[in-house]
A and B are shown apart, each in its own frame.
Chain A
Amino acid sequence: GAVVSQHPSWVICKSGTSVKIECRSLDFQATTMFWYRQFPKQSLMLMATSNEGSKATYEQGVEKDKFLINHASLTLSTLTVTSAHPEDSSFYICSASQGPLFYEQYFGPGTRLTVT
């Protein structure tokens, strides 16, 4: 089946620094990638949708200048958390889709971000 990887699987950074998380589709081309955030004991919340070669579409309440998303190729999307603060600590999950609709999404294993 389709495989999506994320790197790193966990990261600790100091407050004020930036962190980049990579999401790769390993054996298929992903026209659309989604980024989710998951708080402990809570649901996955969609942060943004990105299509290859175009700007990401952010959900309401998500700061686009803080969470920079780049989808430069059909197999790679990156999420950069800029000037991270402790409240940005969370579990970030990406998914990749071979088509424009959600039902073809394949999920990565997630990245645990801790900001100290």
Chain B
Amino acid sequence: AQSVTQPDIHITVSEGASLELRCNYSYGATPYLFWYVQSPGQGLQLLLKYFSGDTLVQGIKGFEAEFKRSQSSFNLRKPSVHWSDAAEYFCAVGALAGGTSYGKLTFGQGTILTVHP
């Protein structure tokens, strides 16, 4: 079965600083990887996804993520953080390899981002 680990429960950065949120996954086949953001009172919003091709994926709100198969990682980055980026971020892996996990998402525990002015 697949699993996702987000090592950082809480990260604090200053506005304008760069950001990297870590995500490591475990999956036996080619992973389908996602990053979602959850703001209070709102549903999860898809930031970006990786299915295949270019390992550097561009998303909304200036975010990007890089898939590194050798490290089983899919870290999320942003060059300059805005105060409005404060939220909780979830990495997820999807299974298409069949079995009971087919078509389902497995989420990491989330990383809470705080942005200082």
Binding site for B on A (CB under 8 A): 4, 9, 34, 41-46, 49, 60, 93, 95, 100-103, 105-110
Contacts and interface: CB of A to CB of B under 8 A. Distances in A.
Contacts of A60: 100
A110 B107 contact: no
Contacts of B42: 109
Interface residues of B, number: 24
A93 B49 CA distance: 20
B99 interface: no
B108 A43 contact: yes
B94 A102 contact: yes
Given A43-B107, A46-B104, A46-B105, A103 B51 contact: yes
B109 A41 contact: yes
A104 B42 CA distance: 18
